Amino acid sequence: MKKILFFFSTTFLILLSSCGEEVPANNVEEYCPTGNLADLHLYLGNPSNAEENINMPNNYLLELDEYAVSYNRDKAIPNWVSWYLSSDWYSGDGNRQDDFRQNPFLPSDWYAPDSESYKNTGFDRGHNCPSADRLCSDNFNSATFFMTNMVPQSPFHNQEIWVAWECYLRYLADQDMELYIVMGNYGLGGDGFFGYRTTISDGDNEITIPASIWKVAIAIPKGDDEDLAAITGQSMVIAIDIPNSQAVADYDWDDSSFITTVDEIESKTGYDLFSNLPTSVQSTLESKYHQTDPTYNPCN
Ligand code: MN
Ligand code: MN
């Protein structure tokens, strides 16, 4: 009996350790989408033709399974972050990781912000692709905490109005919709907890504080059709542009002064958003102002 027990326990240990080497338990993505995920985030286009090219340091493309980024080395913030959203990406067993950290995928000789860079500046480490959009697993969530996904955001802007706007997009995803989202920023200088500033100083380096933060989304019913053909001039589009200011806390994200058009954001940034859509669809969609239901807003 002892011999048999020994045999079983040894076999069990060998099995355990070989499993451990090949598929660590914490890397099992039980609920997350699979397949060629990186392409999905740029499916509707690459707004600034960013490339993974060290000679383009201020329009440097970072493609992850979780989202895509055009990073600006000199500003030390993203120009834009683009991602696909459906409920599959946040339903699962992931938890908020809070592991803010330097992005290891940038060229190693570049300055890159780390978890301490915004400390005591009066500005939040504001996610572009939200933590709560990526909760299908701990690993997917953790990827949203790379500092290349952050901008210095006014605390009330981040914690109040922007949270509600993010929530509204997940509310749409909860209604069995799928969304193509791009978030970015423009201009110089915002106001934080200690007042107006144009940069955060991080020792020898500076991080640009943007004047305005925008986000655009196209939402369509989740279906089996090819999405490029499923998006028409009648599809839902929402474009929001909110000054990076503490004063916005008194407003709702869908206040008429923040609702804008994709065309307007294109003219402020010089990007071509949703460039993979047919020109005729772009011109109709990109000039539309979104109207929310004034009697029902689940997130405000
Ligand atoms: Mn346009
Ligand atoms: Mn466009």
**DSSP letter for each residue of 89-134:** GT-SS-------B--TTS-TTS----TTTTTTSS-EEEESS-GGG-
Residue 123 within any structural domain of the chain:
yes
CB 67 within 8 A of CB 113: no
Q: Determine, yes or no, domain membership for 239.
A: yes
Ligand nearest to the CA of 47: 2
Between the CA of 272 and the centroid of ligand 1 the distance, in Å, is 7
Over 80: is that where the pLDDT of 8 sits?
A: no
Torsion of CA 136, 137, 139, 144, to 10 degrees: 40
Counting ligands in written order, which one lies closest to the CA of residue 283?
1
CA separation for the pair 181, 149 (Å, rounded) = 14
Whether the per-residue pLDDT at 15 is higher than 70: the answer is no
Average pLDDT rounded to a whole number, residues 188-217: 95
Residue at 184 is within a domain: yes
Ligand nearest to the CA of 273: 2
pLDDT (0 to 100) of residue 28: 56
Expressed in angstroms and rounded, the spacing between residue 281 Cα and the centre of ligand 2 is: 9
Q: Is residue 203 over pLDDT 90?
A: no
Helices of type H across the chain: 2-22, 37-40, 138-142, 155-156, 162-174, 227-230, 262-269, 279-285
Residues 232, 203: contact at Cβ < 8 Å? no
Name the band, by pLDDT with cuts 50, 70 and 90, for residue 181: very high
| Mean pLDDT of the 266-278 span | 98
pLDDT surpasses 60 at 127? yes
CA of 286 to the centre of ligand 2 (A): 7
Tens of pLDDT, residues 82-97: 999 999 999 999 999 9
Residue 121 lies in a domain: yes
Residue 276, pLDDT score:
98
d(CA 6, ligand 1 centre) in Å: 71
Instruction: Give tens-digit pLDDT for 216-264.
Output: 999 999 988 889 999 999 999 999 999 999 999 989 999 999 999 999 9
Distance in Å, CA 261 to ligand 1 centroid: 9
Instruction: Report how many domains make up the chain.
Output: 1
Average pLDDT, the chain: 90
**For residue 99, what are the contacts with CB-CB under 8 A and spacing of at least 6?**
142, 145
Using one digit for the tens of pLDDT, what is the confidence trace for 27-72?
556 899 999 999 999 999 999 999 999 999 999 999 999 999 999 9
Residue of 41, 127, 157, 290 marked active site: 127
Residue 114, burial from CB neighbour count under 10 angstroms (0-12, 13-18, 19+)? middle
Per-residue pLDDT, 29: 67
Q: Which ligand is nearest to the CA of 287?
A: 1
Is residue 127 flagged as an active site residue? yes
Residue 125 is encoded by which pair of tokens? 């480490």
Whole-angstrom CA distances from 92 to 30, 88, 135, 139, 182 are: 8, 8, 6, 12, 24
In sequence order, the β-bridge partners of residue 80 are 70, 184
Counting ligands in written order, the one closest to the CA of 271 is 2
- The range of the structural domain enclosing residue 99 comes to 35-285
Residue 10 pLDDT greater than 70, yes or no: no
Distance from Cα 138 to the centre of ligand 2, integer Å: 34
Burial of 213 (0-12, 13-18, 19+ CB in 10 A): buried
User: 147 lies in a domain?
Assistant: yes
Whole-angstrom distance, CA of residue 192 vs CA of residue 175: 35
The confidence score (pLDDT) of residue 9 equals 43
Domain-embedded: residue 298: no
For residue 195, being part of any structural domain is answered with: yes
Cα(67) to ligand 2 centroid in Å equals 19
Looking at residue 293, its pLDDT comes to 75
Q: Look up the pTM and report it.
A: 0.90
Contact between residue 195 and residue 161 where contact means Cβ atoms under 8 Å apart? no
Looking at the chain, how many residues does it have?
300
Asked whether residue 160 is domain-assigned, the answer is yes
Nearest in space to 134 (alpha carbons), one of 62, 64, 32: 32
Domain holding 242: CATH number?
Answer: 3.40.570.10
CA of 286 relative to ligand 1 center, distance in Å: 5
Q: Which residue has the higher pLDDT, 189 or 4?
A: 189
